[in-house]
Amino acid sequence: MKDLTLKPIHEKLQPILDTVLHRNAGEPEFHQAAREVLESLGRVINRHPEYSEDALIQRICEPERQIIFRVPWIDDNDQVQINRGFRVQFNSALGPYKGGIRFHPSVNVGIIKFLGFEQTFKNALTGMPIGGGKGGSDFDPKGRSDREIMRFCQSFMIELHRHIGEYVDVPAGDVGVGAREIGFMFGMYKRLNNRFEAGVLTGKGLVYGGSRARKEATGFGTVYFVRSMLNRKGTDFDGKRCVVSGSGNVAIYAIEKVLALGGKVVACSDSGGYIVDENGIDLELVKQIKEVERGRISQYVERRGDGCHYVKSGSVWDVPCEIALPCATQNELTAADAKTLIENGVIVVAEGANMPCTSAAVQQFRKAGIMFAPGKAANAGGVATSALEMQQNASRDSWSFAKTESRLEEIMSNIHDSCHETAEEYSAPGDYVLGANIAGFVRVADAMRAMGVI
């Protein structure tokens, strides 16, 4: 049956999408991400037909290389476990492949491919010299001991090390991968290569080549992006009610920056449910539970006392707010959630996570005239600061927090302006989706055109 939520695609681009669907059967997230970019490119090829020559767009939709490997490891009960590892090296036109590694049981090649595809345009938007890639495993870190995590990371790197390098491919963290996992992987890479090659991974600990503000960068960057959107409308965060989904790396530092800029965060979540605290979320308590103890968000209510409650399962988007920041996972915010948010008076939605809003949800926001920031623009602060970490590693330098954060702030403001100006240039003022897709595409496409058919 025809899906009425889908927008028509330019006649020259439809066959490209058909090939993506056929060649990557059973990978709905990749189809969704590719369709959304192709929907935006019709206007570009009408104005610049040269971008549709030499199968340029077909090449952009086909990863340069896809690596799938076995990851055997031994658990604490002396049992052998087998997981599957992935690295999709999507596009190296602008620099070495760059993008995170995700450990989550839902990981498969389609998820990694969609993330690598998005990453290519996101990285282009940062203006930094980085190509796009993504990796991960269906390994579930929940409930595993530190030793099990270490053995898994070591086994993962024993295969991955031959495919990466400072000038080749530079992984970082993502869902389920933070400083602990990056440390274990860096240690094994260093041992296998007998080189202290700091620039091979980002998100490292500060004592061995990490960058200040990298941990905070994605969440902070998302909130800076929202500030630019609000400022353009003559307003700011002051006193506004915000809801943030997730309570991981991105969510925690998004909450921190919203609070610093004068907003009020009343709810956040994890995969078990959500908490509402009308007095405003106590961020230190969330950090203690999620960052230090690796516990469940439900514990917040037991420890915080009166004035807050926990809702098991359910949708955090039922909590009324003016600013919604989905910072957990793909397709977590549905059309029904979008409808509720709109009815409750939301004015801005910005994706801290990668593709957290379904296509139907995005369409509703755009139709209702809600300011909407797509992930490839709004969450680009993390990878941008990774590129700053690479810069510090290459020059054997270590910058202050203030210097790094001010670079991040400048980059986010530039990304906002370039999305906004590109949307205006293509006669779609205020359409950040179109602006981000076109601005990212043009940079990658120009580099690929200059390099010939490769």
Residues contributing to the site for ligand NDP (CB under 6 A): 100, 104, 106, 173-176, 218, 246-251, 270-272, 327-329, 332, 352-354, 379, 382
Q: Which does 96 bind (CB under 5 to 8 A by kind): ligand 2IT, ligand NDP, none?
A: none
327 binds, among ligand NDP, ligand 2IT, none (CB under 5 to 8 A by kind): ligand NDP
Q: How far is the CB of 378 from ligand 2IT (least distance, A)?
A: 11
CA separation for the pair 243, 8 (Å, rounded): 33
**String of DSSP letters for 294-307:** ---TTHHHHHH-TT
Cβ distance to ligand NDP smaller for residue 49 or 272 = 272
CB 106 within 8 A of CB 86: no
Task: Say if residues 184 and 213 touch (Cβ distance below 8 Å).
Answer: no
Judged by beta carbon distances under 5 to 8 A according to partner kind, the member of ligand NDP, ligand 2IT, none in contact with residue 348 is: none
Tell me how far, at minimum, the Cβ of 112 lies from ligand 2IT, in Å.
11
Specify whether the backbone of 270 is left (phi greater than 0), alpha (psi in -120 to 50) or beta.
beta
Nearest-5° Cα angle at 136, 165 to 440: 70
C-alpha 80/C-alpha 355 separation (Å) is: 35
C-alpha–C-alpha distance, residues 379 and 363, integer Å: 20
Instruction: Tell me the closest approach of the beta carbon of residue 420 to ligand NDP, in angstroms.
Output: 21
Could you list the residues that contact ligand 2IT (CB under 6 A)?
98-100, 119, 122, 172, 174, 202, 354, 382-383, 386
Closest distance to ligand 2IT from the beta carbon of 266 (Å)? 26
Pick one of ligand 2IT, ligand NDP, none as the site partner of residue 27 (Cβ within 5 to 8 A by kind). none
Q: Which is nearer to ligand 2IT, 301 or 384 (CB)?
A: 384
* Minimum gap (Å) between residue 235 Cβ and ligand NDP: 26
Beta bridge partners of 132: 91
Q: Which of 329, 368, 370 is nearest to 352 (CA)?
A: 329
Report the residue number, 213 or 319, with the smaller CB distance to ligand 2IT: 213
Q: CB 451 → ligand NDP: shortest distance, Å? A: 27
Nearest to 95 by CA among 454, 396, 388, 444: 444
Q: How far apart are CA 153 and CA 155, in angstroms?
A: 6
In sign, the C-alpha dihedral spanning 395, 400, 401, 407 is: negative
Q: For ligand NDP, which is the closer residue by CB, 332 or 405?
A: 332
User: Would you say 52 or 228 has its CB closer to ligand NDP?
Assistant: 228
Q: Which does 202 bind (CB under 5 to 8 A by kind): ligand NDP, ligand 2IT, none?
A: ligand 2IT
Residue 99 interacts with which of ligand NDP, ligand 2IT, none, CB < 5 to 8 Å by class: ligand 2IT
Phi, psi of 107 (to 5 degrees): -65, 130
Residue with tokens 């943030």: 244
Toward ligand NDP, which CB reaches closer, 131 or 382? 382
- Alpha-carbon distance of 454 to 54, in angstroms, equals 10
Set 113, 122, 134, 264: catalytic member: 134
Q: Enter the tokens of residue 275.
A: 């908490």
E-only strand ranges, 60-110 = 65-74, 80-91, 97-103
7 noted as active-site residue: no
98 binds, among ligand NDP, ligand 2IT, none (CB under 5 to 8 A by kind): ligand 2IT
Q: Name the residue nearer to ligand NDP (CB basis): 10 or 98.
A: 98
Cβ-closest position to ligand 2IT? 100
DSSP, collapsed to helix, strand or coil, labels residue 327 as coil
- Token pair in block for residue 14: 């439809």
Q: Which residue is nearest to ligand NDP (CB)?
A: 248
Q: Closest distance between ligand NDP and the C-beta of residue 177, in Å?
A: 7
What amino acid positions are annotated as catalytic residues? 134
